[in-house]
Structure 1
């Protein structure tokens, strides 16, 4: 009976530890609502529980399960959507394929003045 209880407790502890979540804030470049939608949609993947980007502050709040996805992978997904983060830069060919209104590197972009 003791062995069964020990096995049961081990299984429960594994399930509980697998459910741990972490919250991080990442600075992500972008300028408009199209950027917001693109950034948040890029993070609609397993392991990410919540992602919301604030256009004014450029802060992305993300809640994720580190057992399923790493913070480096989150930066990579954002970069692959065409957006720079505080840690890494989007590939130029992806960035330059964005709509002109989304060109956050362009200091003359009308959306940067909002």
Structure 2
């Protein structure tokens, strides 16, 4: 009987642990132009507590990521990206942050907020 309760207890702990995971997958646009931008964007994203994975694609400007909804949200992630000089769909980097980018990393900022019909960055 003790073994039955032990096995049942272990199963319940496993189920409750699985139920607590709140990972979300999302993709959004981030302005940038080169490998240095990719490195900077991904580092800023991964430094956000709760982000588990990210990949920014140069050609499409799309950042795909997986994050724990209990630890962070999209606004915090985009704020951290903007802090290193890259505009996101919802948050524009300060002029100071943008101007601190290397010359090859400067992108056209006239398309903020993002408008797919107007996007000349791709």
Alignment TM class, shorter chain as reference: 0.7 to 0.9
List, as ranges, runs of 4+ consecutive aligned residues in structure 1 with deviation greater than 2 Å: 11-18
Aligned length: 108
Structure 2 residue 50 is matched with structure 1 residue 37: no
Where 1:88 maps in the other structure, the secondary structure is coil
**Cα shift at 1:69:** 0.8
Structure with the greater relative contact order (CA < 8 A, sep ≥ 6): 1 or 2?
1
**Cα shift at 1:106:** 6.7
Q: Distance in 2 between matches of 1:25 and 1:97?
A: 26
TM-score (norm 1): 0.79
Runs of at least 5 residues in structure 2 that lack an aligned partner in the other structure: 1-7, 111-119
Where 1:90 maps in the other structure, the secondary structure is coil
Partner of 1:28: 30
**Cα shift at 1:14:** 4.9
Partner of 2:115: none
**Cα shift at 1:88:** 1.2
Aligned residues: CA RMSD: 2.6
Runs of at least 5 residues in structure 1 that lack an aligned partner in the other structure: none
**Cα shift at 1:44:** 1.7
**Cα shift at 1:83:** 0.3
TM-score (norm 2): 0.74
Q: Distance in 2 between matches of 1:28 and 1:51?
A: 12
Partner of 1:81: 84
**Cα shift at 1:12:** 5.2
